[in-house]
A and B are shown apart, each in its own frame.
Chain A
Amino acid sequence: MSHLLEIRDLKVTFGGLDALSGLNFHVDEGEIVSVIGPNGAGKTTFFNAISGLVEATEGDILFEDESVLGLEPHQVTGLGIARTFQNVRLFPNMTILENVMVSQHCRTRQLVFGALMQTRAFKQEEREIRERAEAALGFFGSRLVGYRLEQAAFMLSYANRRRLEIARAMATQPRLILLDEPVAGMNPMETAELTGLIGRLRSEWGFTIVMIEHDMRVVRDVSDRVVVLDHGVPIAHGSYDEVSTNPEVIEAYLGRPVESRA
């Protein structure tokens, strides 16, 4: 019964607009779930609500049977939920290594004293932070390591920025990763590669993944289940094949055929 993430009757209202209404949803440990839907369906709002960036109006969000509502975003991250952003938001003036090191903030403890005295504990922790950062970056092959470690993040290509964002999320040592359009703007080859990597995130790193994606081939290839949102309401739910043949989903994406209109 116990799900990793459970969402009950979630409702998010901006002014008079219901961005999300009556969303019920759950993710079990080790699953890859995709959230799809046309633009403005409330997918990113859904992610923002989970990670604490927007406040839920009604309903509840449970992570490991504990409510995360009312927690600050950094506390949510501390519980083990990491995320990426749709419009890549790195720390552009920090080096690639620093980008990944800084995201381990909530897993580390050292404060001013250790840094000033250069205590053994401080050095040990710095070493561990660096090792973990390099491990996360190494997941993407040779692209983000080597001379790149000391390069500023703004110098990366678009695809590498997306990769770095995922590495940054991985370094927070989460149990659940929320990927917001991870392959948007990538070319077909990069997309195919990243699709494989998303699978490996689960099999090698043990992350549970919820992913918003528009690229149906990626959705088909990696997800165990698919949830379709439209106007803040879930309209379909099931395996990719079930969802992709669902007439309601087709209608939401493509509109109703002309002749059937009343």
Chain B
Amino acid sequence: MSATMNAPISGSSTAPALFDLDWRRIGTWGGLCALALILVSLIGMPVGLDRRMIIEGRLSLGYLALLWMPLLFGYVVSKRVVLEGVETPDPGARDVLAGFCTGVLAGLGPVLLILGIDNFNLREPLVNWGPPLLEQLTFGRGIGFGIVAWFGIGAVLGLLGSALHVLPKDVRRVISFVIYGLLSISVLEAVISDLSEGFGLESLTDEMYARRGGLTVKSSVIVAVVFGVFSMLMKGRVKSATSRYKELQGEERKRASMMLFSGVAVLCIVLPLFLGKIVNELLANVGLFLLLALGLNIVVGLAGILDLGYVAFFAVGGYTTAVLTSAESPFFAPELHFGFALIVVVMMAGLTGLVIGAPVIRMRGDYLAIVTLGFGEIIRLLFMSDWLKPYFGGAQGITNVPPVDLGFAVVTGIDPRSVFYLVLIFCILAIYVSWRLQGSRLGRAWMAIREDEQVAEAMGINTVNAKLMAFVVGAMMAALSGAVLAAKVGSVFPNSFMILVSIIILVVVIVGGMGNIAGVLVGSFVLIGVLGGPRQPGLLQEFQSYKLLIYGALLVFMMLQRPEGLVPSARRSQELHQEEFLQDAWLKGEDHDTEEAAVAAAAGGSEETGEQA
């Protein structure tokens, strides 16, 4: 059986004719690309982002928002499905032609849009339908030029995208490094100038960036060369370093981990000293949301309770801090020190966790999600209500939350660096708690409940208690985050605790990698740091108004392509890609008859393959 499968499919080696293309595939991807171009144009990205320059005078972020698409679709359309054991024909002229056709088809999108805007007026429903967009799409040179240009651009970019497959691996590597390098250097302009200021290297950034933003032409060439050389030098280094790390055993590995850890720790402590306000503010926000995400990771990632009302605990933390420390608290204002307030915050969070958890925890799956969603809103509405206005100030919230006086330093919102340090402490605490609990009796019970609640119960786990525990631990982390937020902002309003916060944290956890601390870390940095939180701006401030769209698109993309998240836990990725995994193993293992042997081989275990015999 397997012998025949391993043989290359006969006939595939003879090259088919150049024009014998998969037209259907080209049509699908080209059409999709055209639609995407129209959509992005109509939501206002090209016009809105045109101010931000990537390369001075040549390329703006607005055009970039359109141009990357034909390139990507060209790449995708000529991508081959590689099956192990089955011969894949080498990419060649046919693939490039396919990319070209896709690009031309994609160009049709903007062309139709140009003609449409020119001839009809749809301004009423479509706000961006108008002269600015037309001007942008035609490059300001008239309709005829625009039409020709878009077909041309589409064709060239599609061609380039697909040509990436034909290029040798090394060249491809250099190109991708150069592209990533240019993009990150120009997009991260704010951070880099901020950093260089901290190190006293302003002159370097003044040289690099144009006055009105964007790399100068000269510096972009230099950056490209630097990154190209860098990619050549780095070739294989990272991979060998990680594999060397993985091969380390026992003591040595422990030592290497300790060194890595202390390196990161020192970086975390020292780097903010050199960073300016903007970046520190950003880091503080990332920290706040990381704390939230770590808590939700325990509830959703470990215990499998899909809690959509998680923001409730965030709110409880914020309000408890505000009531206890602020002099403006309308009813009860003991004006405690932040440290004492924290103790009450943690207790209140635990209590709320129990109160909300107790009725909710008996439900399963979808029902639980809906009910927690309701509770999340109820808490916010309670804080906003007129009924509780004498206690919590209604929609005006509680203002004048004092900064945290630590004796040797004062943590206030005006100094984001101090906020970052404070939140860093809590994050480290939360990471430690998550890490230790994960490997304990309780953590195993949570995982068992996530896997199969009924069986977990039959195996002697008191599921109600264990789930309540998860709820409470998660609630405490969220409440700590809320407390820091209150001290940072100096006030709390019901509207800071919208249901959107819950959703965004959930996206952070899913995109990062559920049930995995490293995943949550990466997820918060990528999503909150780059795109920004519900109200907090991220690195890409220009994308502020498109943030939710990007979040949604990212979530859909991740669910389709990488459901295990950016940094998956090893096991989870095995499970989610089990089919491919088994298939590969099956194709590989000629002499193993049992499925088990195949799986064992795939897992890298070469032992006892014939045990069933």
Contact = CB atoms under 8 A, between A and B. Distances in A.
B458 A157 contact: no
Interface string B110-150: 00000000000000000000000000000000000000000
Contacts of B595: 157
Contacts, number: 134
B451 A110 contact: no
B440 interface: yes
A104 B39 CA distance: 56
B447 A93 contact: yes
Interface stretch (A6-14, A148-156, A220-228, A252-260): A148-156
A115 B438 CA distance: 9
A53 B599 contact: no
B197 to A, nearest CB: 41
Interface stretch (A18-26, A28-36, A73-81, A240-248): A73-81
A155 B572 contact: no
A152 B602 CA distance: 13
B603 A94 contact: no
Contacts of A94: 444, 447-448, 451
A214 interface: no
Given A89-B452, A92-B451, A93-B572, A172 B442 contact: no
A232 to B, nearest CB: 22
Nearest to B440: A115
Which one of B457, B469, B599, B611 has the greatest number of beta carbons of chain A within 10 Å? B457
Given A92-B451, A93-B571, A98-B447, A151 B441 contact: no
Given A89-B452, A156-B596, A115 B437 contact: yes
Candidate in B444, B572, B575 with the most chain A CB atoms within 10 angstroms: B444
Contacts of B456: 91, 102
Interface stretch (B288-296, B459-467, B504-512): B459-467
A155 B459 contact: no
Contacts of A72: 457, 462
B448 A91 contact: yes
Interface string A92-125: 1111001001111111101110111010001001
B447 A102 contact: yes
Contacts of A110: 440-441
A102 B571 contact: no
B444 A51 contact: no
Nearest to A102: B444
A146 interface: yes
Chain A interface size, under 10 / 10 to 19 / 20 to 34 / 35 or more: 35 or more
A111 B441 CA distance: 7
A143 interface: yes
Contact of A103 (B433, B442, B454, B460): B460
B605 interface: yes
Q: Which of B451, B578, B607 has the most CB of A within 10 A?
A: B451
B603 A155 contact: yes
A187 B177 CA distance: 54
Contacts of A175: none
Contacts of B536: none
B571 A152 contact: yes
Interface of A: 51-53, 72-74, 77-78, 82-83, 85, 89-95, 98, 101-108, 110-112, 114-116, 118, 122, 125-126, 129, 142-143, 146-148, 151-152, 154-157, 159-160, 168, 172, 187, 190
19 contacts: A72-B457, A73-B457, A90-B452, A91-B447, A91-B451, A91-B456, A92-B451, A98-B447, A102-B448, A105-B448, A111-B441, A112-B473, A115-B441, A116-B437, A118-B436, A143-B608, A147-B605, A147-B607, A159-B612
Given A82-B459, A142-B608, 9 more contacts: A72-B462, A73-B457, A112-B442, A115-B439, A122-B440, A152-B574, A155-B603, A156-B599, A172-B459
